[in-house]
Amino acid sequence: MSSTENNNADQKQENCFTNDDGLKIFCKDWGEAASISNPRCLVFIAHGLGEHCLWYDQLAEELTKRQVYVFSHDHIGHGQSEGDRVHINNFKQYTRDVFYHVELKKKKFSNIPVFMIGHSMGGAMAILCALERPEFFKGIILIAPAIIVSPAAVSPLKVFIGRWLSYVFPQLPIAKLDPKAVCRDPNVVKKYEDDPLVYHGGIKVKLGTQLLDSMDYICANLEKLEVPFLALHGDKDTLAEVDGSKQLGEKAKSKDKTLKIYEGYYHQLHNEPDDDGVGGTGIRAEIVKWIVERMPA
């Protein structure tokens, strides 16, 4: 892999690296934009299926105010990264790129802790990374992580047919995500629907089966997870099953683990309206507080 600078007209400190598949991966570097030269910790953000890293501007900017160096990238085939749209041959291509990107920053800032924030499919990536290299992260923050699927939505017959189709027509679009299930805030839903960088087509069958396989692996290895974590989930989330987070809270061996379930909340908790004093900016404040409490003094 290689890293190259891409000087954009708006000078937002965006760049890219070329991964092992020869694809340019678009990166966002809030730490560089905030001129953080002596960070207290590093935080990598892994976005969810179909979206892109620029959806985390607010959360990242709140972290940079606490001398946290935040960075992210668009996964293969997402947002401004190269690759067939929202298609993957092997889920490990995602986690491989995460490790590479984080290693780039660790070379620049040595001997400081690294945290990872993962939303939805990005939450599955965070758990997989923590299982693969337990000492790599100081902690992971999981926002509505994709851990289990709803039996009503994905029956054994659908899985069987999907696996067959993934070999014959790997990029066949199947079920679509409902934009209205993303957030209770209609303004966020409209932004999501109008965003040209968001993938609005059906989930492709190969990615779907790869995600299912990864979730099966996570469920079979929850008891091996020892990394500190904060898991946040809305009980009205129809895109990622809240029971997955509950199982994580029960089975993980992590000595430092926190699970919070928010009544009535949807999928993008970090963008939920702050109408009752605990959502919206409150959710982001919860994440910032958890990280800051675990940073070096």
pLDDT at 275: 46
Domain 2-149+211-292 sits in CATH at: 3.40.50.1820
Q: Which two tokens stand for residue 27?
A: 């990166």
- How far is it, in rounded angstroms, from Cα 244 to Cα 215? 10
Give pLDDT tens digits for 249-276: 999 999 999 999 999 999 999 999 864 4
Active-site annotation holder among 29, 97, 185, 237? 237
- How far is it, in rounded angstroms, from Cα 90 to Cα 142? 22
Angle at 93 between CA 90 and CA 98, to 5 degrees: 150
Extract the runs of DSSP E, i.e. beta strands, from 161-292.
229-234, 257-262
The set of residues, in sequence order, having a beta carbon less than 8 Å from that of 296 and lying 6+ positions away, is 40, 41, 112, 113
The answer to whether 165 and 140 have CB atoms below 8 angstroms apart is: no
Active-site annotation holder among 73, 101, 267, 270? 267
Angle subtended by helix axes 281-292 and 57-64, to nearest 10: 40
Q: Is the pLDDT of residue 279 over 80?
A: no
Task: For residue 204, give the DSSP letter.
Answer: B
pLDDT at 278: 43
- How far is it, in rounded angstroms, from Cα 197 to Cα 82? 12
Give the residue from 62, 61, 57, 37 showing the smallest Cα distance to 47: 57
Give the residue from 81, 206, 74, 225 showing the smallest Cα distance to 145: 225
Give pLDDT tens digits for 162-194: 776 777 788 888 888 999 999 999 999 999 999
81 in catalytic set: no
77: left (phi over 0), alpha (psi -120 to 50) or beta: left
Give pLDDT tens digits for 95-136: 999 999 999 999 999 999 999 999 999 999 999 999 999 999
Q: Is the pLDDT of residue 32 over 70?
A: yes
267 in catalytic set: yes
Q: Is the pLDDT of residue 87 over 90?
A: yes
- How far is it, in rounded angstroms, from Cα 69 to Cα 60? 9
Give pLDDT tens digits for 194-244: 999 999 999 999 999 999 999 999 999 999 999 999 999 999 999 999 999
- How far is it, in rounded angstroms, from Cα 244 to Cα 169? 29
120 in catalytic set: yes
Active-site annotation holder among 47, 101, 119, 120? 120
